[in-house]
Amino acid sequence: MKKIHLAHLLYFVGPAGKEQGVLKIVSGMDRSRFKVDIIVLQGVRYRELLPVDQFNIIELEGTPANSWETARRLAEVLKRNRYDIVYTHSWNTLLEGYLAARLAKTPALIHGEHGTFERSFMKDRVQKYLWPRFDAVTVVAGDLEKKLRDSFGYRKDNITVLYNGIDPARFYPSPEFREKYRRQYGLEGSFVVGTMGRFHPVKDHFTLIKAFRWFREKIPAAKLVLVGGGGSAGEEMKRRYQELIAQLSLQEQVRFIPPVSDPETLLNMFDVFVLSSVSEGCSNVILEAQACGVPVVATDTGGNPELVCHRENGLLFPVGDQQTLAGELHRLYADEDLRRRFSRRALERVREKFSLRSTVSGYEQLYWNLYHSKMNGKAKGS
């Protein structure tokens, strides 16, 4: 039986949600049925944190985004490898991926959207023109499908919602991790509020830091842990966070930890996980925190309400609302039974609805159906 040859096209590979999601799915696929390459336009970041040797990664270095030269070079790679399916992801690979796949006469095209849409007069029109020309469009949350239809007027019936998934063998509650890493980072006896993700404006760590200041006025034993980075841009954001932390006199209460290859270890040391993003798709890190048994407080935006059911398995707050966030943190601090209830219910829901195995199966079925529909079409036309 011929393997279906698939190429994912990413702007970069690194420890960010979209990229990690692609790597997780590829790693779980049936290699007797699929051969998968990952083509990267701007290289691999934090290579030491990623199991890159497990994947066939093709790097097109020195290629500017959204350029004809990039499309031409990419088309050469696609022609040489004779892919059955090319899968582009988000704005930074949409235009050149589509053009290259057409030049290479790739049979099937998929485009994926994962969270925050790139918006401008020009980008809106390019996306609205190109999306319907793909055979399938995937989104990681129902909210993204709604935005495609409401904000962009997308009418084609080729959208598939495929939520992210979690490996329960890797992400699970661990008292051993909790004790070890709280001791390592000097957090014994503290109530630890934590977050994890790239240092980027869309993650809005500023609201979390300001909310923590309000929370800590009532809870002196509280500590805030910010796990993340993001290259030179991430370092600039970190500098801005540090300036705010100094202004609020929180230097002794906030810990910065760089990205790690085993996030499950650090997640287990949190008492509460907070995601203060302005925009999200299907947050991998929310699911990972829930799988580790950590109560979650997240912004009421994007796909977050599809993962966090307010007052059932976690808490939601309005984007940018530092005082509400501070109040929700105090609610959880004061009610240990509530924390346990949220932890139990979220863990049960992740295991039932968001397993990595079911996510991978959904993608495999999409590829299989698309490939065979294209092959049948060829046979009928021959």
Of 137, 280, 301, give the one whose Cα is nearest residue 197.
280
At residue 97, what is the residue type?
G
The reported pTM is 0.92
What class is the 4-165+356-381 domain?
alpha beta
Give the pLDDT confidence score for residue 91 in this predicted structure.
94
Of 198, 162, 167, 163, give the one whose Cα is nearest residue 14.
198
* Domain 175-353 CATH (choose: 3.60.15.10, 2.60.120.10, 3.40.50.2000, 3.40.50.880): 3.40.50.2000
Give the pLDDT confidence score for residue 116 in this predicted structure.
85
DSSP notation for 214-257: HHHHH-TTEEEEEE---HHHHHHHHHHHHHHHHHTT-TTTEEEE
Reply yes or no on whether the pLDDT at 61 is more than 90: no
Rounded to whole angstroms, how far apart are CA atoms 253 and 245? 9
Reply yes or no on whether the pLDDT at 380 is more than 80: no
Give the pLDDT confidence score for residue 92 in this predicted structure.
92
Average pLDDT on 101-116 reads: 96
Residues 6+ apart with CB under 8 A from 138: 110, 111, 112, 113, 159, 160, 161, 162, 366
Say whether 175-353 and 4-165+356-381 share the same fold.
yes
What spatial distance separates the first Cα and last Cα of the chain, rounded to whole Å?
21
Average pLDDT on 258-286 reads: 96
∠ CA 290-185-298, nearest 5°, is 30
Give the pLDDT confidence score for residue 59 in this predicted structure.
93
Average pLDDT on 294-317 reads: 98
In this structure, are strands 4-10 and 85-89 parallel, antiparallel, or unpaired? parallel
pLDDT confidence of 377, banded at 50, 70, 90? low
Reply yes or no on whether the pLDDT at 100 is more than 70: yes
pLDDT confidence of 15, banded at 50, 70, 90? confident
- 148-171 pLDDT, tens digit per residue, is 999 999 999 999 999 999 999 999
Domain range list for the chain: 4-165+356-381, 175-353
Give the pLDDT confidence score for residue 378 in this predicted structure.
62
Distance of CA 178 to the CA centre of its chain: 24
- 182-233 pLDDT, tens digit per residue, is 999 999 999 999 999 999 999 999 999 999 999 999 999 999 999 998 778 8
Average pLDDT on 11-24 reads: 88
Reply yes or no on whether the pLDDT at 121 is more than 50: yes
Mean predicted lDDT score pLDDT of the chain: 94
Average pLDDT on 350-370 reads: 97
Give the pLDDT confidence score for residue 65 in this predicted structure.
67
pLDDT confidence of 68, banded at 50, 70, 90? confident
Give the pLDDT confidence score for residue 382 in this predicted structure.
43
Average pLDDT on 80-97 reads: 96
Query: Which of 5-9, 74-78, 112-116 shows the lowest mean pLDDT across its residues?
Result: 112-116
Reply yes or no on whether the pLDDT at 130 is more than 80: yes
Rounded to whole angstroms, how far apart are CA atoms 331 and 354? 27
Across 194-223, b (16+ Cβ under 10 Å) vs e yields bbbbbbbeebbbbbbbbbbbbbbeebeebb
Rounded to whole angstroms, how far apart are CA atoms 38 and 55? 7
